[in-house]
Amino acid sequence: MAPKNDGPAKKVMNKGAWTAEEDQKLSQYIEIHGAKRWKTIALKAGLNRCGKSCRLRWLNYLRPNIKRGNISDAEEDLILRLHKLLGNRWSLIAGRLPGRTDNEIKNYWNSHLSKKINQNEKTREPSSAHEITPQKTDMEGAKVSGTSEGNFDVNEFFDFTVEGSYGLDWVNKFLELDEDSWLTKKGEHCVI
């Protein structure tokens, strides 16, 4: 079958793995002009890529201060705790782990932690009726359903827009609450 001719030929964008040359072009352009207007960046940097692809590459790989590999025990612990609190809100979780990206945390969760949790759940008593289901529960549920004390919004509660505004210690303390008392509270009046 002949390809239909629908107007001016669309430029075919590069897809797949980035080359070192592309990385260099993107980094150099952003260094000079900043990381704004990704479509323009893609165009002006001479990259045959869509803006979306450039943004992703920059955020997940080229950005300065990116930590790569080897998630430490402390980081893993924090991810677990934050996930319990926030569910699959990877960008929020990543915001609490300097140098880590949402994509990396998501991957780490899917390949390592979700399995760990499944194993733990299997070994635990099935009678834990108040088990937390991590995804889209807790906080989001609270936001949607509201409570007797009014709507609780995790984004207001933690100002995630300001990195380190509370410090990890505070968040950790917050999350260290014994699960049972935590859940008792949940049952009583507040869906946290």
Interacting residue ranges for DNA, rule: CB under 7 A: 14-18, 36-40, 49, 51-53, 55-57, 60-61, 68-69, 88-92, 102-104, 106-108, 110-112, 115, 135
Would you give the distance in Å from CA 3 to the centre of its chain?
Answer: 41
Nearest-approach distance from CB 132 to DNA, in angstroms: 16
109 vs 182 by CB, closer to DNA: 109
Provide the angle, in degrees to the nearest 10, between the axes of the packed helices 167-175 and 73-86: 60
Nearest-approach distance from CB 181 to DNA, in angstroms: 27
91 vs 147 by CB, closer to DNA: 91
Nearest-approach distance from CB 187 to DNA, in angstroms: 26
40 vs 184 by CB, closer to DNA: 40
φ/ψ of 50, rounded to 5, equals: -80, 160
Burial class of residue 127 (count of CB atoms within 10 Å of its CB; 0-12, 13-18, 19+):
exposed
Enter the tokens of residue 74.
């402390």
55 vs 84 by CB, closer to DNA: 55
Enter the tokens of residue 104.
């990396």
- Quick check: 47 and 26 in contact, CB under 8 A? yes
Nearest-approach distance from CB 154 to DNA, in angstroms: 11
